[in-house]
């Protein structure tokens, strides 16, 4: 039953029998047969079928909720027993918003020093994707904004507050100013994150509140792309100060606080709310709390 539920979750995530079978490491006929057996055991149709996958039935949507809960508990049990035998080991999958990627090492580095048999995968995703991956059991934890948009049923640990700065080259407008307003930066030649990023929605909102409109001449979902264009001197950008600091800009790139308002937005670690957590997620949450306490004491 657990294997069949794993297959069903994969099919719901991939929305394609072939891709789901590949993810599960089985043939497509094997996965299709397992789904039909699951339907026979439960006495309901779970999948709308035609020549291809057409979605889940209402019963399938309800079973998906149970499947995630049961499979999550099963994984927790197996991991807890493995930890009892061998100590903490395994693999942690984390998805982080682009503006938080540079700080992930503040969690993973001390964690790996304490638990050397644990490995990591770090993905860059927007905030909605982080929550979707978490719900679908495709990641173990995420790093995202905590306050601006609904998070659902998660456990969260606040890590730091983003504070926004104009990042611009020497000799460009406002480069010698101590502060600049949101209304003023709205008139600059900007490169910004794409509209699907919550950071961009936050920036759009603050600009609109100041009576300005974001009209970037370049957009990207990569902070590295934005950094490289700012360094040409032809573009400016609006970035959280912490990530600008992490890239070590040369002296001719200026970071100027944006005021009116002096905005900040909380970023933190999120994990699916469940009791008990897997040993790996429990240890990761503990590491995040230690980091947050260190930042508070500075």
Q: What is the pLDDT of residue 298?
A: 66
What confidence tier does 124 reach under pLDDT thresholds 50, 70, 90? very high
- Decide if 106 contacts 291 (C-beta within 8 A): yes
Strand ranges (E), the chain: 47-49, 53-56, 90-96, 118-124, 141-145, 154-169, 180-181, 191-193, 218-220, 237-240, 253-259, 264-272
Is residue 201 domain-shared with residue 232, that is, in the same domain?
Answer: yes
Burial environment of residue 274 by CB neighbours within 10 A (0 to 12, 13 to 18, 19 or more): middle
User: At residue 241, does pLDDT exceed 90?
Assistant: no
User: At residue 64, does pLDDT exceed 80?
Assistant: yes
46-58 confidence digits (pLDDT tens) = 998 766 788 889 9
Interatomic CA distance for residues 65 and 62, integer angstroms: 5
Is residue 227 domain-shared with residue 251, that is, in the same domain?
Answer: yes
> Is pLDDT larger for residue 233 or for residue 85?
233
Is residue 243 domain-shared with residue 207, that is, in the same domain?
Answer: yes
Interatomic CA distance for residues 248 and 241, integer angstroms: 11
Interatomic CA distance for residues 135 and 142, integer angstroms: 11
180-236 confidence digits (pLDDT tens) = 999 999 989 999 999 999 999 999 999 999 999 888 999 999 999 998 999 888 999
Is residue 166 domain-shared with residue 258, that is, in the same domain?
Answer: yes
Is residue 3 domain-shared with residue 58, that is, in the same domain?
Answer: yes
What confidence tier does 159 reach under pLDDT thresholds 50, 70, 90? very high
User: At residue 125, does pLDDT exceed 90?
Assistant: yes
Give the count of domains, the chain: 3
Is residue 154 domain-shared with residue 24, that is, in the same domain?
Answer: no
For 135, the domain range is: 86-158+264-294
Answering whether pTM is above 0.75, one says: yes
Is residue 141 domain-shared with residue 185, that is, in the same domain?
Answer: no
Percentages of the chain per state (helix, strand, coil), in multiples of 5: 45, 25, 30
95-105 confidence digits (pLDDT tens) = 999 999 989 99
């Amino acid at each position: 039953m657990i294997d069949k539920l794993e297959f069903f979750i994969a099919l719901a995530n991939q929305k394609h029998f072939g891709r789901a079978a590949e993810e599960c490491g089985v043939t497509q006929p094997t996965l299709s047969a397992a789904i039909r057996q699951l339907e026979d055991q439960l006495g309901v149709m779970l999948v709308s079928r035609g020549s291809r996958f057409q979605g889940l039935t209402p019963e399938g949507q309800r079973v998906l909720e149970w499947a995630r809960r049961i499979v999550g508990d099963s994984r927790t049990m197996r991991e807890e027993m493995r930890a009892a035998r061998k100590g903490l080991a395994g693999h942690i999958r984390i998805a982080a918003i682009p503006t938080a990627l540079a700080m992930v090492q503040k969690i993973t580095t001390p964690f790996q020093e304490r638990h050397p048999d644990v490995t990591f995968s770090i993905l860059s995703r927007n905030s909605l994707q982080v929550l979707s991956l978490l719900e679908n059991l495709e990641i173990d934890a995420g790093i995202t904004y905590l306050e601006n948009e609904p998070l659902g049923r998660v456990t969260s640990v606040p890590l730091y507050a983003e504070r926004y700065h104009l990042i611009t080259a020497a000799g460009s407008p406002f480069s010698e100013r101590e502060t600049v307003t949101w209304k003023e930066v709205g008139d600059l030649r900007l490169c910004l994150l794409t509209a699907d990023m919550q950071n961009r929605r936050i920036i759009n909102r603050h600009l609109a509140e100041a009576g300005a409109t974001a009209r970037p001449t370049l957009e990207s979902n990569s902070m590295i792309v934005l950094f490289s264009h700012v360094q040409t001197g032809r573009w400016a950008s609006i970035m959280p100060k912490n990530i600008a600091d992490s890239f070590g800009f040369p002296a001719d790139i200026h970071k100027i606080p944006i005021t009116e308002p002096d905005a900040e937005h909380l970023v933190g670690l999120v994990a699916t709310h469940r009791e008990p957590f897997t040993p790996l997620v429990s240890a990761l949450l503990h590491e995040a709390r230690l980091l947050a306490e260190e930042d508070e004491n500075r």
